[in-house]
Amino acid sequence: MRIETERLVITEFTPDMAQAVHENSLDEDNRRFVPDEVFETVEEAAETIAFLMSRYGGKEGPLVYPVVMKAGGENIGYVQMAPLEDGTWEIGYHIAKKYTGRGCATEAVKAFLPVMAKELDLREIQGVCLSENAASKHVLLKCGFRPVFEGAGDYQGEKREVFRSVWKTLPAEGYVCTVPSLEEVNRKWDYEIAIHPDDRNWSIWKKGAVEGYLEGRSLLYYGILDGNIICEATAIRDPDFCGKKAEGTIELCAFRTNKEYRGMGYFSKLKDFMLQDLKQRGYTRAVVGVEPEEEGNKAIYHHWGFTEPFCTGSESYPDGTVIQVEFYSKLL
């Protein structure tokens, strides 16, 4: 095993790493969140390394690999895959305290995930940490894990507040991100109307969306898997934010993914495609709106980089419902 990133090397353990493993394990966060991975002596670390080395070449796990700095060669932590009782696998990682805050954990995990998914023939990988471990949750979200549960649960044999998430592989074939044709626009909206038969807002929204598309007031982006439209996003040109215009700024809205495809990375890929396309079109800032009580969506948008408060205003649904909206922006 050897994975290289811009700053790091993920490799295999050797016996001479015992001192570094011992020292890296002693920081406060390790004692607090994963006390079973604290090695009080070099001898304990050496025994564990010997066991982990014996797992290489197999698929039983745990499969643990040290993370080393390219510049200087310091051993700064590890990444691992551990099998769970239900047959799934869980990601694990630890970066020594003096190297945290530099993005090393995110850089290592992002590189490690696709390699191990291929090696172990996995479609998904679990990510679990204590809810209070904000740094670990941040790493999981930055690496594409989608939250699936947060609340009281079992954690190393104890009842604790647990955060559970999942990372899923994205099929390389059959998925396309595109600016749709008029036929595809009509097909997508007819689908939405069909699954919301009791909500007249969708028919009104379709009329506005098609008109905006034809008149060039909006840009539409679709994710299409094997010919089926499974996710979408809209970019509004020349928007009016809270009564003001902003040069070079575009509003993003109407993010939707068909339920059966949520949490699988499809929309994330569409979002990246859209932002790149808008940048190429000359836009310099993108803005998203979220209702104040939608804490989950707000967390996702902040994770995407929409962290700068832009303005606060209100919007109306076709049926007359008025909602308050907070807008956040990011530079493209």
Per-residue pLDDT of 275-291, as tens digits, reads 999 999 999 999 999 99
What single-letter DSSP state applies at residue 100? T
Give the dihedral sign, CA 53/54/57/60: negative
| Residue 235 or residue 260, greater confidence | 235
The pLDDT of residue 177 is above 60: yes
pTM for the full predicted model: 0.54
- In this prediction, residue 170 carries a pLDDT of 65
Alpha-carbon gap, residue 177 to 271, rounded angstroms: 9
* Residue 61 near residue 125, CB atoms below 8 Å: no
Contacts of 147 (CB under 8 A, 6+ apart): 141, 163, 164, 165, 296
Q: Is the pLDDT of residue 73 over 70?
A: yes
- 172 pLDDT above the threshold of 60: no
Task: Band the pLDDT of 98: cuts 50, 70, 90.
Answer: confident
pLDDT-above-90 percentage for the chain:
51
What is the CA 247 to chain-centroid distance, rounded? 30
Q: How many CB atoms lie within 10 A of CB 276?
A: 12
Question: What's the pLDDT score for residue 273?
Answer: 94
CB-based burial, 40-55: b 16+ in 10 Å, e otherwise: eeeeebbebbeebeee
Residue 252: what pLDDT?
95
Residue 59: predicted pLDDT = 85
Q: How many CA atoms, within 13 angstroms, populate the side-chain half-sphere of residue 11?
A: 12
Asked whether the predicted pLDDT for residue 76 surpasses 90, the reply is: yes
Instruction: Give the number of other Cβ atoms within 10 Å of residue 265's Cβ.
Output: 17
Confirm if 73 and 50 have CB atoms less than 8 A apart.
no
Q: Which of 99, 133, 127, 139 is nearest to 29 (CA)?
A: 133
CB 234 within 8 A of CB 217: no
Band (pLDDT 50/70/90 cuts) for residue 315 is confident
Check residue 61 and give its pLDDT.
85
Cα of 199 vs its chain's centroid, Å: 31
For the chain, what is the mean pLDDT? 89
3-state secondary structure of 305: coil
Peptide bond into 62 cis (omega under 30): yes
Q: pLDDT at position 33, please?
A: 65
CA dihedral 254, 257, 262, 268 (to 10 degrees): -60
Report whether pLDDT(223) > 90: yes
Domains of the chain: 3-168 (3.40.630.30), 175-331 (3.40.630.30)
